[in-house]
């Protein structure tokens, strides 16, 4: 057991000093138990040196096995540790690296230098239970043990550790909290008497994720399951915004935080500490912090993408996917409106041109109807007949008469006044011309 649990019967005597020195030495040599998840890597430390033959041995309740033997610089693994062990000089000259750790690798490991004992180490192997939590939510990590039903509250001993750091400890009725867990973690003393040592964490942060272990009575007596892995996945949010809207990103009370934007590449938006912001130039005039939230105003199409909020440790708090709607439609409707207006203008111009042409051209049917009512049909090209004498028109008349009567037309040269000749000329252009030719 750890040295602080070693009973000292004679505090003033030499015996107690020897016990204390032995306890410190064993602690430095790795007697404090360590726990490793199955399939992980274990480093069994030893800072001693040896220039002769080295032997690492494994001891459990039922067997004693060779782990690694090195003779004149050549090392050979034991049968049960074949291709899984080697010396790790980074952790110490004689430290042992074991990968992957199997469940039945739990036990005591010791190293000898030419039969001289150097280091000893106890390895604990566990299969963790996985629990998922949400940011700002509450989560309970299970742990159970065989406890006394009538135990007094001041005799209860509970210890929860996260990655070898204390989370909460109840000892002799006094509760202590680890860093960042003050008033955020609790266990139930009444439930402890029922064998329930479960830990409840309130207002979960992403930094709370990790490996938790539960102990009762002493640090060597762990509950079941032996460990709990807490996952705090980043919060996924989706925003559908319109052109010109504002975007509000929750900072979850973390301080400081960074906000980045990922479009074609990831760029920094702002670093936020309290209500103070340090932003990139393109965001400086658009960002404000209100009620522990970052507000980005005046969204445009270039803001469509992913905004990521991270803690100072780099842990991702939230991933916000933003789509700015209405931008594409706005351009589409403008273009469609312009095109529609152009088409309507063209149609109106065509109709107007047709109306102008119809107003300038006479209607042929109404023209002939009007001439029939007067009994006089005038050809459309009236100016061609004005000013012609009877002699100039008579050859044509004779030719036309021949086509119908096949008889010659006698020439007449009556003496007429100018007015009469004009009258005759008009009759030549009229229907009565056939009467002058004897028809």
Residue 39 has pLDDT above 60, yes or no: yes
Q: The tokens of 112 are what?
A: 């000898």
* Euclidean distance between CA atoms 259 and 251, whole angstroms: 9
List the single range of 97-111, 209-223, 398-412 with lowest mean pLDDT.
Answer: 398-412
Q: Which of 201, 185, 199, 187 is nearest to 156 (CA)?
A: 187
The reply to whether 33-126 and 236-325 are identical in fold is yes
Paired tokens of 146: 């065989």
Q: Hey, how many other C-beta atoms are within 10 angstroms of the C-beta on 262?
A: 13
Interval 160-196: pLDDT, tens: 999 889 999 999 889 999 988 999 999 998 899 999 9
Going from the C-alpha of 309 to that of each of 62, 256, 283, the distances in angstroms are 52, 11, 15
What is the predicted pLDDT for the residue at 314?
Answer: 86
Domain formed by 129-231, architecture: Sandwich (2.60)
Residue 421 has pLDDT above 60, yes or no: no
- If you average pLDDT over residues 372-376, what whole number do you get? 50
Amino acid 375: pLDDT: 52
Whole-angstrom Cα distance, residue 96 to residue 253?
Answer: 43
- Ramachandran assignment for 274, one of left (phi > 0), alpha (psi -120 to 50 degrees), beta (any other): left
pLDDT at 407 over 90: no
**Residue 23: is its pLDDT beyond 90?**
no
Residue 401 has pLDDT above 70, yes or no: no
* In the block, residue with structure tokens 């050809």: 379
Which CATH entry fits the domain spanning 236-325: 3.40.50.300, 3.40.630.10, 2.60.40.10, 3.40.640.10? 2.60.40.10
Q: How confident is the model at residue 415 (pLDDT cuts 50, 70, 90)?
A: very low
pLDDT band at 74 (very low <50, low <70, confident <90, very high): very high
pLDDT for the residue numbered 218: 77
Summary mean pLDDT of the chain: 78
Long-range contacts of 63-71 (CB under 8 A, 24+ apart): 67/96, 67/109, 68/96
Run of H or E residues at 419 = helix 418-429
385 falls in which pLDDT band (50, 70, 90)? Answer: very low
Catalogue the long-range contacts made by 401-407 (C-beta closer than 8 Å, 24 or more residues apart): 401/434, 401/437, 401/438, 401/439, 404/439, 405/438, 405/439
- Across residues 87-109, what is the average pLDDT? 87
CA dihedral 76, 82, 88, 89 (to 10 degrees): 20
CATH of 33-126 given 3.30.70.270, 3.40.50.300, 2.40.50.180, 2.60.40.10: 2.60.40.10
- Band of pLDDT at residue 402, cut at 50, 70 and 90: very low
pLDDT in tens, 227-253: 999 999 999 999 999 999 999 999 988
Does the pTM exceed 0.75? no
Contact 251, 316 (CB under 8 A): no
Q: What is the pLDDT of residue 110?
A: 95
Q: What is the pLDDT of residue 4?
A: 37
- Residue 200 confidence (pLDDT): 97
What ranges do the domains of the chain cover?
A: 33-126, 129-231, 236-325, 326-358
So what's the pLDDT on residue 378? Answer: 53
Per-residue CA distances from 105 to 46, 57, 205, 287 (Å): 18, 12, 34, 55
Range in 6-10, 128-132, 369-373 with the lowest mean pLDDT: 6-10
Q: What is the pLDDT of residue 331?
A: 57
User: What is the reported pLDDT for 356?
Assistant: 79
pLDDT value for 162: 93
């Amino acid at each position: 057991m750890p040295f602080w649990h070693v009973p000292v019967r004679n505090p003033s005597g030499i015996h107690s000093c020897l016990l204390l020195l032995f306890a410190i030495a064993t602690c430095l040599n790795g007697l404090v138990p360590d726990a490793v998840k199955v399939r992980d890597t274990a480093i069994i430390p030893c800072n001693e040196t040896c220039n002769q033959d080295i032997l690492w041995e494994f001891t459990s309740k039922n067997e004693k096995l060779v782990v690694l033997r090195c003779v004149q610089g050549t090392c050979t693994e034991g049968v049960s540790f074949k291709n899984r062990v080697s010396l790790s000089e980074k952790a110490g000259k004689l430290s042992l690296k074991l990968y992957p750790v199997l469940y039945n690798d739990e036990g005591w490991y010791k190293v000898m230098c030419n039969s001289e004992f150097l280091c000893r180490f106890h390895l604990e192997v566990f299969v963790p239970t996985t629990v998922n939590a949400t940011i700002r939510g509450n989560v309970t990590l299970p742990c159970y043990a065989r406890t006394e039903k009538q135990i007094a509250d001041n005799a209860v001993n509970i210890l929860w550790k996260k990655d070898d750091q204390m989370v909460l400890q109840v000892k002799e009725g006094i509760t202590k909290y680890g860093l960042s867990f003050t008033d955020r973690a609790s266990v139930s003393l009444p439930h402890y008497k029922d064998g329930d040592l479960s830990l409840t964490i309130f207002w979960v942060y992403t930094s709370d994720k990790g490996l938790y272990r539960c102990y009762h009575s002493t640090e060597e007596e762990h509950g079941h399951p032996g460990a709990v892995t807490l996952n705090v996945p980043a919060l996924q949010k989706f925003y559908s915004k319109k052109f010109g809207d504002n975007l509000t990103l929750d900072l979850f009370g973390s301080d400081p935080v960074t906000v980045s934007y990922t479009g074609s590449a990831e760029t920094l938006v702002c670093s936020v500490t309290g209500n103070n912001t340090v932003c990139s130039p393109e965001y400086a005039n658009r960002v404000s912090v209100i009620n522990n939230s970052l507000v980005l105003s005046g969204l445009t199409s270039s803001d469509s993408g992913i905004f990521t909020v991270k803690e100072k440790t780099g842990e991702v708090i939230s991933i916000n996917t933003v789509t700015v709607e209405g931008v594409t439609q706005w351009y589409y409707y403008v273009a469609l409106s312009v095109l529609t207006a152009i088409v309507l203008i063209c149609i109106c111009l065509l109709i107007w041109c047709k109306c102008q042409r119809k107003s300038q051209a006479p209607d042929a049917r109404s023209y002939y109807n009007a001439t029939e009512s007067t009994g006089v049909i005038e050809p459309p090209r009236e100016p061609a007949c004005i000013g012609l004498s009877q002699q100039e028109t008579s050859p044509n008349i004779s030719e036309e008469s021949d086509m119908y009567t096949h008889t010659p037309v006698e020439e007449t040269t009556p003496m007429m006044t100018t007015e009469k000749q004009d009258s005759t000329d008009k009759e030549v252009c009229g229907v009565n011309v056939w009467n002058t030719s004897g028809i």
